[in-house]
Amino acid sequence: MGASPSGADRAFATFLLSAVDPSQFPKPDLPEIAFLGRSNVGKSSLLNALVGAKVAFTSGTPGRTRTVSFFDIALGSGKAAPVLRLADLPGYGWAKISRSAAREWPKFVDPYLSERESLCLCVVLVDASVPPQDSDHYMVNRLREAGRRVVVAATKVDKVPRSKVVTVMNGLKVFLGQSPVPVSSRTDDGVLDLWRQVLGSAGIAMKGGLKR
Ligand SMILES: Nc1nc2c(ncn2[C@@H]2O[C@H](COP(=O)(O)OP(=O)(O)OP(=O)(O)O)[C@@H](O)[C@H]2O)c(=O)[nH]1
Ligand SMILES: [Mg+2]
């Protein structure tokens, strides 16, 4: 069940569709939260950790996700009506993707980020175990300029020595202009904290507290 709490806040995720073109995006009829970050940063893994099920495809091969995949989330019961939608976006900044795939990226992601009316939060993932990158800085600023609400999640914090976590988080805060939420999909550290923020952005208060 991952990091999702039991009871009223337990998430039930259903894969809706994978889109390669804005015409394929689902109707914007639910509050939507997008997961963005460089290839291999752990977007799909974090999404799975948040919902407590392996719904998003993860891979050791960077740049694997080339589509926008949408997942509808119901709370409390799998039979309940969905209350929010998560979007797993393709990774950016991976040099080995084919040139045509690199050209494809902005074509269907940029209109999504700029125009998607139901998009209420962008979770930008940055890898806590490597130095911050210009592409992370670019993405956070681009989203702010588009008027998007941004939460920065610092992933793979299990790979950072405990004594260095505070320094790394402070460095990211200075670099990106906001405090990151340290998370690990391996250990579930910080996952519930992030889940609370995801629900909050959709106007949903967590009822079940922090108990699993
Ligand atoms: N140690 C550690 N490894 C992780 C964590 N999250 C993901 N990984 C690993 O990082 C690799 C990439 O994970 P994905 O979730 O597929 O990354 P992604 O950002 O969705 O990648 P693309 O879809 O290719 O852009 C996999 O080998 C994961 O097992 C984490 O919290 N800790
Ligand atoms: Mg992925």
Can you give the chain as a three-state secondary structure string? CCCCCCHHHCEEEEEEEEECCHHHCCCCCCCEEEEEEECCCCHHHHHHHHHCCCCCCCCCCCCCCCCEEEEEEEECCCCCCCCEEEEECCCECCCCCCHHHHHHHHHHHHHHHHHCCCEEEEEEEEECCCCCCHHHHHHHHHHHHCCCCEEEEEECHHHCCHHHHHHHHHHHHHHHCCCCEECCCCCCCCHHHHHHHHHHHCCCCCCCCCCC
Q: Mean pLDDT, the chain, as a whole number?
A: 86
Tens of pLDDT along 120-146?
A: 999 999 999 999 888 889 889 989 999
What is the model's pTM?
Answer: 0.91
Centre of ligand 1 to C-alpha 128, Å, is 12
Residue nearest to atom 1 of ligand 1 (CA): 156
22 lines ligand 1 (CB under 6 A): no
What per-residue confidence (pLDDT) applies to 93?
67
Tens of pLDDT along 55-98?
A: 887 777 665 667 889 999 999 888 899 999 999 998 876 544 45
Tens of pLDDT along 29-46?
A: 999 999 999 888 999 899
Question: For residue 211, is pLDDT > 60?
Answer: no
What per-residue confidence (pLDDT) applies to 210?
46
Q: Which CATH number is correct for 7-201, 3.90.1420.10, 3.30.450.20, 3.40.50.300, 2.30.29.30?
A: 3.40.50.300
* Better-scored residue on pLDDT, 64 or 21: 21
What per-residue confidence (pLDDT) applies to 212?
38
129 lines ligand 1 (CB under 6 A): no
